[in-house]
């Protein structure tokens, strides 16, 4: 609980973003819109405690048609960073069965809480589900939930007042406030996704690990936080800590979502590849600049909600140019040989390719082949992440180089182990030259 003084200081320093008058006008509009749709349905109105209590209290007297009223109560525990997991205190009761339900909430933020309410209400047999929110936060991210009635949009900042609390305080304010944006404190964090041959980052001084749940399920494993050359790093092993998740089964959406929730300055993916172009011999390191996607059946977008506006992303240059440049500069500083550019083909795996498939890829203009580059790069772009890849050539692709009749699988891990020394050296230089 905040002390009286702390609460007062927060309010004094905050910025008023919606006045009591604007909120009153908004409630009138919402009431009219809701009346149009639901006045003949005798809905059961559920208030989400405790944030929606002021909203519900002022909206209900303006809904002049028969309705019933009840409430639900749920929280997300865990810290603010992860959002945490849903914990029900009061679930929707039996009474929702066969009813048209209207849920009232103060704020639609990430949409996880309201999605959980909707699922529970429908699970308990409601005939139809509607929702009205006083505010919706402009998070810039796709959400698993859309409200039917939205009052006001609020910026992606900590807001409070009119039912919304700040550390438990100020639900009672008649207006809506946002905490003043502090000048950036701390330094930007690098995120590193390790692939085959890099299930952990040995140069990282680990501080802690954290399991992060996302609307898309669980990432490949806990995120590992720590420092490298005194810079903050978060590391995720794409195939899981024990290298148990095959490329087609990686939950790419959860992985990228979890990293994005930490607002990293850059995401650097390490991925092993087979070399097709003759200079891409085992052990070589490449910063690819193009991708062709041959994968299928993977969950490849966050924008697949049919209730959402159709969203396209530009993917002409699939990797972040600035992050690529940073990696190339770091390799130079680290004295590690690196190849600038090349077309990466993402194949489905987990089997390696046939020689004929590699011939076809070459005709398509491909230089190297791996199994994890997509949809990872596209999802990173959908989330606006600065993403680039260090490709590590593990072997000549099928039918190439010394692998005319087969790929010696046992050798791959030895090659990767050696090559990762260079990769770690580059990573250490990336973070330190970025910190300069
Ligand atoms: N093909 C596909 N993915 C790979 C290969 C390969 O030859 N080597 C390492 N990852």
Q: Are residues 220 and 265 in the same domain?
A: yes
C-alpha 90 – ligand 1 centre gap (Å): 51
Q: What CA–CA distance (Å, rounded) separates 77 from 431?
A: 33
85: phi then psi, degrees, rounded to nearest 5: -100, 155
Q: Which has the closest alpha carbon to 113: 164, 173, 39, 62?
A: 164
Other residues' Cβ atoms within 10 Å of the Cβ of residue 215: 19
Does 331 map to a domain? Answer: yes
Q: Are residues 141 and 242 in the same domain?
A: no
C-alpha 294 – ligand 1 centre gap (Å): 13
pLDDT mean across residues, the chain:
90
* CA of residue 102 relative to chain centroid, distance: 29
Does 148 map to a domain? Answer: yes
- Residue 82: its pLDDT value, please? 41
Q: Are residues 266 and 320 in the same domain?
A: yes
Q: In angstroms, how far is the first alpha carbon of the chain from the final one?
A: 40
- Residue 81: its pLDDT value, please? 35
C-alpha 349 – ligand 1 centre gap (Å): 8
Q: Which has the closest alpha carbon to 393: 342, 323, 355, 347?
A: 342
**Contact criterion met (CB below 8 Å) for 199 and 237:** yes
Q: Are residues 152 and 212 in the same domain?
A: no
* pLDDT tens-place string over residues 44-78: 999 999 899 999 999 999 999 999 999 999 987 54
Q: Are residues 303 and 359 in the same domain?
A: yes
- Residue 433: its pLDDT value, please? 65
Structure tokens, 111:
């949409």
pTM of the model: 0.62
Q: Are residues 388 and 286 in the same domain?
A: yes
Q: Does ligand 1 lie within 6 Å of residue 361's CB atom?
A: no
Q: Are residues 144 and 268 in the same domain?
A: no
Q: What CA–CA distance (Å, rounded) separates 329 from 390?
A: 13
Of 150, 178, 206, the domain-final residue = 178
Instruction: Choose one of 284, 395, 403 to mutate for the ligand 1 pocket test, by most ligand atoms within 8 angstroms of C-beta.
Output: 395
Does 277 map to a domain? Answer: yes
Q: Are residues 165 and 39 in the same domain?
A: yes
Complete edge-to-edge strand list for the sheet that includes strand 149-154: 85-90, 68-77, 44-49, 100-108, 128-137, 149-154
C-alpha 394 – ligand 1 centre gap (Å): 7
Does 391 map to a domain? Answer: yes
- Measuring from atom 3 of ligand 1, which residue has the nearest CA? 370
Q: Does ligand 1 lie within 6 Å of residue 392's CB atom?
A: no
HSE-CB of 19 using CA atoms within 13 angstroms:
3
- Residue 231: its pLDDT value, please? 86
* pLDDT tens-place string over residues 227-264: 988 888 999 999 998 889 999 999 999 999 999 988 89
Q: Does ligand 1 lie within 6 Å of residue 352's CB atom?
A: yes
**Residue 157, helix vs strand vs coil:** coil
Read off the DSSP letter of residue 133: E
Q: Are residues 106 and 221 in the same domain?
A: no
Residues 6+ apart with CB under 8 A from 330: 426, 427, 429, 430, 433
Q: Does ligand 1 lie within 6 Å of residue 347's CB atom?
A: yes
- Counting as low any pLDDT under 70, the low residues of the chain are 77-84, 94, 180-188, 307-308, 433-436
Q: What CA–CA distance (Å, rounded) separates 57 from 48?
A: 12
Q: Are residues 244 and 385 in the same domain?
A: yes
- Residue 94: its pLDDT value, please? 67
- Residue 394: its pLDDT value, please? 96
- Measuring from atom 10 of ligand 1, which residue has the nearest CA? 273
- Residue 185: its pLDDT value, please? 36
Does 54 map to a domain? Answer: yes
Instruction: Choose one of 283, 353, 406 to mutate for the ligand 1 pocket test, by most ligand atoms within 8 angstroms of C-beta.
Output: 353
The CATH number linked to 235 is 3.40.50.1580
Does 184 map to a domain? Answer: no
- Measuring from atom 6 of ligand 1, which residue has the nearest CA? 274
Q: Does ligand 1 lie within 6 Å of residue 198's CB atom?
A: no
Q: What CA–CA distance (Å, rounded) separates 274 from 347?
A: 11
Of 178, 210, 242, the domain-final residue = 178
- Domain span at residue 237? 190-435
- Residue 281: its pLDDT value, please? 96
Other residues' Cβ atoms within 10 Å of the Cβ of residue 248: 15
Instruction: Choose one of 356, 369, 409 to mutate for the ligand 1 pocket test, by most ligand atoms within 8 angstroms of C-beta.
Output: 369
Does 333 map to a domain? Answer: yes
What's the domain count of the chain?
2
C-alpha 283 – ligand 1 centre gap (Å): 13
- Measuring from atom 5 of ligand 1, which residue has the nearest CA? 274
As a whole number of Å, the CA-based R_g of the chain is: 26
Q: Does ligand 1 lie within 6 Å of residue 388's CB atom?
A: no
Q: Which residue has 């959402």 as its token pair?
A: 308
Of 130, 150, 178, the domain-final residue = 178
Q: Are residues 29 and 119 in the same domain?
A: yes
Q: Are residues 158 and 207 in the same domain?
A: no
HSE-CB of 287 using CA atoms within 13 angstroms:
24
The closest-lying atom of ligand 1 relative to the alpha carbon of residue 275 is 7
Cis before 375? omega within 30 = yes
Does 230 map to a domain? Answer: yes
């Amino acid at each position: 609980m905040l002390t009286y003084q702390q609460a007062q200081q927060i309010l004094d320093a905050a910025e008023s973003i919606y006045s009591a008058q604007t909120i009153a006008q908004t409630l009138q509009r919402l009431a009219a819109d809701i009346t149009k749709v639901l006045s003949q349905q005798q809905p059961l109105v559920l208030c989400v405690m405790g944030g929606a209590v002021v909203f519900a209290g002022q909206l209900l007297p303006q809904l002049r048609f028969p309705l019933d009223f009840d409430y639900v109560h749920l929280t997300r525990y865990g810290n603010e960073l992860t959002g945490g997991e849903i914990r029900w205190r009061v679930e929707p009761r039996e009474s929702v069965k066969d009813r048209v339900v209207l849920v009232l909430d103060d704020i639609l933020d990430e949409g996880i809480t309201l999605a959980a309410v909707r699922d529970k209400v429908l699970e308990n047999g409601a005939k139809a589900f509607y929702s009205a929110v006083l505010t919706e936060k402009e998070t810039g991210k796709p959400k698993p939930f859309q409200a039917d009635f939205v009052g006001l949009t609020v910026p992606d900042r900590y807001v409070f007042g009119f039912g919304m609390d700040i550390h438990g305080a100020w639900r009672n304010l008649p207006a809506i406030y946002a905490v003043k944006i502090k000048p950036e404190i701390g330094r930007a964090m690098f995120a590193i996704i390790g692939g085959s041959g890099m299930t952990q980052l040995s140069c990282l001084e680990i501080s802690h690990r954290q399991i992060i749940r996302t609307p898309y399920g669980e990432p490949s494993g806990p995120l590992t936080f720590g420092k490298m050359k005194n810079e903050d790093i978060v590391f995720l092993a794409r195939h899981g800590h024990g290298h148990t998740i095959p490329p087609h089964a990686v939950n790419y959406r959860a992985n990228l979502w979890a990293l994005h929730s930490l607002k990293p300055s850059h995401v650097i993916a390490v991925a092993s590849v087979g070399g097709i172009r003759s200079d891409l011999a085992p052990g070589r390191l490449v910063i690819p600049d193009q991708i062709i996607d041959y994968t299928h059946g993977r969950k490849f977008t966050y924008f697949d909600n049919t209730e959402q506006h159709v969203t396209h992303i530009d993917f002409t240059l699939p990797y972040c140019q600035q992050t690529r440049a940073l990696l190339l500069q770091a390799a130079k500083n680290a004295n590690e040989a690196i190849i600038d550019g090349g077309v990466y083909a993402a194949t489905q795996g987990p089997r390696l390719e046939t020689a004929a498939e590699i011939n076809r890829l070459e005709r398509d203009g491909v230089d190297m082949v791996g199994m994890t580059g997509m949809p990872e790069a596209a999802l990173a772009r959908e989330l606006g992440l600065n993403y680039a890849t260090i490709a590590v050539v593990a072997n000549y692709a099928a039918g190439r180089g010394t692998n005319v009749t087969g790929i010696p699988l046992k050798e791959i891990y030895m090659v990767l182990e050696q090559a990762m020394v260079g990769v770690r050296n580059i990573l250490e230089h990336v973070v330190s030259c970025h910190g300069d």
